[in-house]
């Protein structure tokens, strides 16, 4: 079975500070999620796609101003010329956040700061202390920002209004929180919580390997991360090995637990499942992605819409299955 689809890079290549130009990552069409960070809506989501789109307009993306280090804003989620900021299909809403940041190499700022401090200490015969250093650093950053190179990236989110799941395509919690916070700013409130399960994921995944009791719809990959309990516990990362081998079993008997586990689910997706319930390195199977092959290539809008419907349904099914695997959602 072959997994995945080639996706072109979207980030620009950084140039040295001093190039007086701005490059943006080229806009892209809808991309299948690579990560799944799930949140549970604690109350029904009642805004229609049209109402939500109107609310998001107040923070539609605007490029960084000359002295602005970071800009966040909403863009068309399918990468089309349409001004719509929400795409809806079967009760699921797709959003896309664009993030533009100025790239200021720390070495450049540090070198300029040290030069300025040396000049002050030589000219005035005095020591430059912490408060003044911070003020000088701020001045240097503000002076460099208009000449800095810009880089853009995107974060997708899917709101499933029927199941009250929110999926964010972000490997880091920080990027996901940026999106959620901006959404709250636009609509006033967006109450979500990280899902809690009844059975500890690390213990359950450890049992799968230790007792060879992997669920029937799960196929083990060849990668895992094992950790000893406690802050100072050791970490073992295994790649390209049989996860039911004696080598892995020895570490488990020594007290380590599974923190991350590579697996495939129902011939639909492969992924790395972590003890924090974040799903990383999602790859959709060719069999799943071929389900929309009957749509004419010329009809881009229909294909994008069908791809989102197919992907979002698979993600919702996968998330529900994950919750069941770990004993259901805790009350």
Q: What is the pLDDT along the chain (331 residues), one digit of tens a residue?
A: 444 433 334 333 333 343 333 333 334 456 899 999 999 999 999 999 999 999 999 999 999 888 788 899 999 998 877 789 999 988 999 999 999 988 777 787 788 888 888 888 888 888 888 888 888 888 877 777 777 778 889 999 999 999 999 999 999 999 999 999 999 999 999 999 999 999 999 999 999 999 999 999 999 999 999 999 887 789 999 999 999 999 999 999 999 999 999 999 998 999 999 999 999 999 999 888 888 777 776 567 778 888 899 999 999 999 999 999 999 999 8
217 is written with which tokens? Answer: 């719809």
From CA 123, how far away is CA 10, in angstroms rounded? 48
Distance CA 249, CA 211 (A): 9
Per the CB < 8 A criterion, the answer to whether 261 and 272 are in contact is yes
pTM of the model: 0.80
User: Closest Cα to residue 285, out of 323, 261, 314, 321?
Assistant: 314
Question: Taking CA 281 as the corner, what is the angle to CA 276 and CA 283, rounded to the nearest 5 degrees?
Answer: 130
253-to-198, 207, 209, 232 alpha-carbon distances in Å = 24, 11, 11, 18
Burial status of residue 107 (CB atoms within 10 A of its CB: 0-12, 13-18, 19 or more):
exposed
Query: What is the pLDDT at residue 329?
Result: 94
227: helix, strand or coil: strand
Query: Is residue 182 within 8 Å of 190, Cβ to Cβ?
Result: no
Strand partners, 238: 224
Where in 27-86 does DSSP place strands (E)? 37-41, 70-75
In this structure, what token pair is assigned to residue 86? Answer: 């929400």
Please, are residues 117 and 133 in contact by the beta-carbon 8 Å criterion?
yes
Give dist(CA 101, CA 70) in Å, integer.
4
Phi, psi (degrees; rounded to nearest 5) at 54: -65, -40
Separation CA 280–CA 72 (nearest Å): 24
Question: DSSP assignment, residue 65?
Answer: P
Angstrom distance (rounded) from CA 175 to CA 111: 30
Q: Which of 260, 223, 221 is nearest to 238 (CA)?
A: 223
């Amino acid at each position: 079975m072959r997994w995945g689809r080639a996706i072109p890079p979207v980030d620009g290549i950084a140039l040295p500070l001093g190039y007086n130009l701005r490059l943006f990552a080229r806009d892209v069409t809808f991309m299948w999620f690579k990560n799944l960070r799930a949140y549970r809506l604690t109350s029904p989501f009642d805004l229609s796609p049209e109402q939500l789109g109107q609310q998001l307009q107040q923070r539609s993306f605007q490029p960084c101003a000359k002295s602005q280090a970071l800009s966040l804003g909403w863009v068309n989620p399918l990468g089309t010329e349409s001004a719509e900021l929400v795409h809806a299909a079967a009760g699921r809403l797709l959003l896309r956040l664009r993030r533009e940041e100025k790239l200021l190499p720390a070495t450049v700022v540090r070198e300029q700061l040290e030069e300025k401090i040396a000049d002050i200490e030589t000219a005035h015969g005095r020591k430059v202390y912490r408060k003044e250093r911070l003020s000088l650093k701020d001045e240097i950053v503000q002076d460099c920002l208009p000449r800095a190179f810009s880089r853009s990236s995107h974060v997708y989110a899917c709101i499933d209004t029927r199941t009250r799941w929110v999926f964010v395509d972000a490997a880091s919690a920080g990027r996901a929180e940026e999106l959620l916070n901006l959404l709250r700013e636009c609509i006033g409130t967006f109450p979500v919580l990280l899902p809690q399960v009844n059975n500890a994921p690390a213990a359950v995944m450890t049992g799968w390997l230790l007792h060879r009791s992997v669920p029937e719809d799960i196929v083990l990959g060849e990668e895992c991360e094992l950790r000893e309990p406690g802050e100072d516990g050791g970490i073992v990362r295994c790649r390209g090995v049989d996860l039911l081998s004696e080598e892995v079993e020895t570490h488990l008997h020594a007290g380590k637990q599974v923190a991350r586990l590579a697996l495939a689910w129902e011939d639909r997706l492969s992924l790395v499942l972590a003890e924090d319930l974040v799903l990383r390195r999602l790859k959709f199977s060719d069999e799943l992605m071929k389900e929309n092959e009957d749509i004419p290539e010329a009809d881009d809008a229909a294909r994008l819409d069908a791809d989102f419907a197919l992907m979002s349904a698979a993600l919702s099914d996968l998330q529900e299955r994950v919750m069941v695997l770990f004993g259901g959602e805790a009350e």
